[in-house]
């Protein structure tokens, strides 16, 4: 495996990690926003 392929894989991993972190934050904020509506 050459260096460019490896760095591309690393970048993809970082992007995915950031994406899932973002999704989790949105989900948490969404549940916080929805909570008052239920009560």
| 9 occurs within a structural domain | no
Would you state the structure tokens that stand for residue 34, as one six-digit string? 């929805």
Please report the pLDDT score of residue 18 as a whole number: 96
Q: So what's the pLDDT on residue 12?
A: 96
The CA radius of gyration of the chain, in Å to the nearest whole number, is 17
**Domain, as residue range, for 25:** 15-39
- For residue 5, is it within any domain? no
> Does 4 map to a domain?
no
User: Residue 28 is inside which H or E element, if any?
Assistant: helix 3-38
Number of folded domains in the chain? 1
Q: Could you give phi then psi for residue 2, rounded to 5 degrees?
A: -85, 170
| C-alpha 14 chain-centroid distance | 9
* 39 residues of the chain, pLDDT tens digit each: 678 999 999 999 999 999 999 999 998 888 877 766 655
Residue 38: inside a domain: yes
């Amino acid at each position: 495996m050459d260096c460019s392929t490896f760095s591309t894989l690393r970048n993809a991993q970082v992007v995915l990690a950031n994406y899932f972190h973002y999704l989790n934050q949105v989900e948490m904020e969404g549940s916080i926003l929805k909570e008052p509506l239920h009560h």
